[in-house]
């Protein structure tokens, strides 16, 4: 049974129970006991009657005190006597009001029923509607949340790290503020703008900033809120949404997670959904039907544009796609400047260094990082957030929470120490890899017994074959160290093996970096970032697949041999570093100078 029906059923059951309880109480407390008129006269003479009601054929009354058998009310047949004189003589109150017993009985039922029905109408129903369980008449109404200018409270000053996207959207603000002068040369604003980017990059925040800058009504709704189990409901909600926007124009309609509503039609016939397709068709019709000159702009956001229907992305509907990507180093610094306004910082903190060690973080990740750093400072009862708090927060996000309760045996601790020192020393002696930031043998997260944290000094967008081979050697450094020192290997390199295999397969199958297989692609074609979904890659023979497997295995083995050669050459540093790591459990390049990168050592040597 649905939640709404459960509420209605139990409410009705409870109301019926209370009505019968009320009737039982009413009958119990107002039962009239029939007595002879002669007895009535005797009771009257004894002064035991408090008041009576004279009806046409009967006399009803109440005793001053209940009788021995508990009787409190009585009734008797009326006998025409000069009652008024007698009643006055004995000081009994009386009246001659004629009351209908039938009407009294009806009201005793109707009034409680009306009371509970009114209670349901004004209270229970309101609560159900707020929880999304409105009545049948509200099924086709839009569920969009409406914000006026004072509610949005977000401007472009609150958005950082996506300068190109802000520039693209500023002209939308200009159009909404002054549509007449904006179109003086015949141009018109795009009907729809699609914000595309990975999760957490600020797509929703950008849309709200546009509404805050323009000072217009902002309709916000998720794509999944259009789709219901009843066919036609989604289309009705799309119509209602655009109708509300027309009434409050200029306005912005923002549909978050558009891929829940606008998936390509006909891709999977078996799992086709008529309701979703009707809703999408209605959205396409609305995009064709409204005039942008009235001041309505449609914004939408998605992190999966490759699954959208091509009809949504054609010119005249979503005219413009704005990329909201992960920020670079400069953008990360700008985002940090925005979010640190709300926390108390150490005056000596270096936010440039924080931006440097957070490569790949999205805006949401950086906001979470600042909050984690503030929590760590609060936990240690500090007066402000320090550089160490940010460093520890990065480690907690990247590597996981420290697990001091996981106690390792001595042989396990030595194995982990040499494993992590192997990663670090290989990284320090090869070019084109990220420098070592910190190594630790404190267990973290779900299964990590230790970790080696490498943070880039700059953002890189192109990698040469040599760079990828060196990264593979760094990944194999842990297993190579175990083989050199202990003469055996362990399960600690399972994640390293998975990552190094993925890099080798990408080099062979996607990047054409194997001389034997040639300059061609063997992997399935990835779906395009904007546009129609891609198709499968070229078919290959069984012989070619074998050659691919051999090439991948050869590259992995070469990486292992390269790591073994580096560590054999620096065996003394490997033993010293592992011993120091076992003692301190956590090391940085300042604690153990051989961890400094090859480029840094060469630079220091040249300066010396």
Annotated binding residue 69: no
> Three-state DSSP class for 448?
strand
Annotated binding residue 197: yes
Cα 535 to its chain centre, rounded Å, is 31
Query: How far apart (Å, rounded) are the C-alpha atoms in residues 164 and 156?
Result: 12
- What residue spans of 305-386 are helical by DSSP H? 310-313, 329-339, 351-356, 363-379
Cα–Cα separations (whole angstroms), residue 171 to 174, 183, 347? 5, 12, 38
Catalytic position from the list 168, 257, 395, 420: 420
Residue 201 backbone dihedrals phi, psi, to 5 degrees: -90, -5
Annotated binding residue 204: yes
> Three-state DSSP class for 323?
strand
Annotated binding residue 202: yes
Q: Residue 456: is it exposed, middle or buried by C-beta count within 10 angstroms (0-12/13-18/19+)?
A: middle
Query: How far apart (Å, rounded) are the C-alpha atoms in residues 255 and 261?
Result: 9
Token pair, residue 208, equals 């709200």
- What residue spans of 316-361 are helical by DSSP H? 329-339, 351-356
Burial code (b: 16+ CB inside 10 Å, e: under 16) for 241-266 equals bbebbeeebbbbbbbbbbbbbbbbbe
Annotated binding residue 199: yes
- 184 CB contacts (<8 Å, ≥6 apart)? none
User: Could you tell me which of 428, 477, 478, 474 has the C-alpha nearest to residue 449?
Assistant: 478
Cα 572 to its chain centre, rounded Å, is 50
Strand partners, 296: 251
Annotated binding residue 200: yes
Our answer to whether residue 228 is catalytic in this structure is: no
Distance between terminal CA atoms of the chain?
A: 80
* 318-323, strands of its sheet edge to edge: 145-147, 217-222, 251-256, 296-302, 192-196, 318-323
Residue with tokens 């009652």: 83
Annotated binding residue 450: no
Annotated binding residue 288: no
H/E element holding 73? Answer: strand 73-77
Query: How far apart (Å, rounded) are the C-alpha atoms in residues 543 and 231?
Result: 51
Residues 420 and 451: beta-carbon distance below 8 Å: yes
H/E element holding 102? Answer: helix 101-119
Query: Do β-strands 49-54 and 93-95 pair in parallel, antiparallel, or remain unpaired?
Result: parallel
Annotated binding residue 419: yes
* Upstream peptide bond of 250 is cis (omega within 30 degrees of 0): yes
Query: How far apart (Å, rounded) are the C-alpha atoms in residues 161 and 334?
Result: 6
Q: Is the dihedral of CA 522, 523, 525, 526 positive or negative?
A: negative
Binding region for ATP: 197-204
> What residues are labeled active site?
420
Binding region: 197-204, 419, 423, 496
Binding region for Zn(2+): 419, 423, 496
């Amino acid at each position: 049974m649905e939640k709404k029906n459960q509420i209605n059923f139990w409410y009705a059951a409870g109301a019926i129970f209370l009505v019968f309880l009320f009737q039982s109480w009413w009958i119990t407390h107002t039962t009239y006991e029939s007595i002879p008129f002669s007895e009535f006269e005797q009771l009257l003479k004894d002064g035991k009657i408090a008041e009576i009601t004279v009806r046409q054929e009967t006399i009803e009354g109440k005793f001053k005190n209940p009788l021995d058998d508990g009787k409190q009310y009585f009734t008797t047949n009326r006998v025409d006597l000069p009652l008024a004189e007698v009643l006055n003589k004995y000081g009994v109150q009386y009246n001659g009001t004629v009351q209908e017993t039938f009407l009294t009985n009806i009201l005793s039922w109707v009034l409680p029923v009306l009371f509970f029905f009114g209670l349901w109408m004004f209270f229970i129903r309101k609560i159900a509607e707020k929880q999304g369980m409105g009545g049948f008449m509200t099924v086709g109404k839009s569920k969009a949340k409406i914000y006026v200018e004072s509610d949005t409270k977000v401007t472009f000053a609150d958005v950082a790290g996506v300068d190109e996207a802000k520039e693209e959207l500023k002209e939308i603000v200009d159009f909404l503020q002054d549509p007449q002068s904006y179109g003086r040369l015949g141009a018109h604003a795009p009907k729809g703008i699609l914000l595309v980017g990975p999760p957490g990059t600020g797509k929703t925040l950008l849309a709200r900033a546009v509404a805050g800058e323009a000072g217009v009504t902002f309709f916000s709704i998720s794509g999944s809120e259009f789709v219901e189990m009843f066919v036609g409901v989604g289309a009705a909600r799309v119509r209602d949404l655009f109708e509300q926007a027309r009434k409050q124009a200029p306005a912005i309609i923002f549909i978050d997670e558009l891929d829940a509503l606008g998936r390509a039609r006909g891709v999977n016939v078996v799992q086709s959904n008529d309701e979703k397709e009707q809703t999408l068709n209605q959205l396409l019709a609305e995009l064709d039907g409204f005039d942008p000159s009235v001041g309505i702009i449609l914004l939408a956001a998605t992190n999966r544009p490759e699954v959208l229907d091509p009809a949504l992305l054609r010119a005249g509907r979503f005219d413009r796609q704005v990329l909201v990507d992960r920020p670079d180093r400069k953008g990360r610094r700008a985002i940090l400047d925005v979010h640190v306004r709300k926390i108390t910082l150490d005056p000596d903190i270096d936010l440039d260094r924080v931006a440097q060690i957070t490569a790949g973080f999205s805006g949401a990740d950086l906001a979470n990082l600042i909050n984690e750093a503030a929590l760590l400072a609060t936990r240690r009862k500090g007066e402000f957030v320090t550089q160490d708090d940010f460093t520890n927060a990065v480690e907690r996000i990247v590597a996981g929470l420290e697990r001091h309760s996981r106690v390792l045996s001595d042989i396990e601790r030595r194995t982990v120490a040499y494993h992590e020192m192997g990663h670090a020393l290989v990284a320090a002696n090869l070019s084109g890899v990220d420098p070592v930031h910190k190594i630790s043998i404190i267990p973290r997260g779900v299964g990590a017994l230790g970790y080696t944290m490498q943070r880039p000094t700059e953002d890189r967008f192109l990698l040469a074959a040599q760079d990828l081979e060196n990264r593979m050697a760094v990944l194999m450094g842990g297993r190579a160290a175990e083989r050199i020192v202990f003469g055996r290997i362990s399960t600690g390199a399972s994640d390293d093996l998975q990552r190094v295999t993925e890099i080798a397969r990408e080099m062979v199958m996607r990047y054409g970096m194997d001389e034997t297989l040639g300059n061609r692609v063997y992997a399935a074609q990835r779906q395009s970032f904007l546009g129609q979904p891609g198709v499968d890659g070229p078919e290959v023979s069984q012989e070619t697949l074998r050659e691919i497997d051999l090439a991948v295995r050869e590259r992995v083995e070469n990486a292992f041999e390269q790591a073994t050669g580096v560590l054999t050459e620096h065996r003394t540093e490997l033993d010293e570093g592992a011993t120091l790591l076992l003692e301190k459990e956590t090391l940085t390049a300042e604690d153990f100078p051989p961890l400094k990168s090859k480029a840094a050592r060469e630079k220091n040597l040249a300066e010396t």
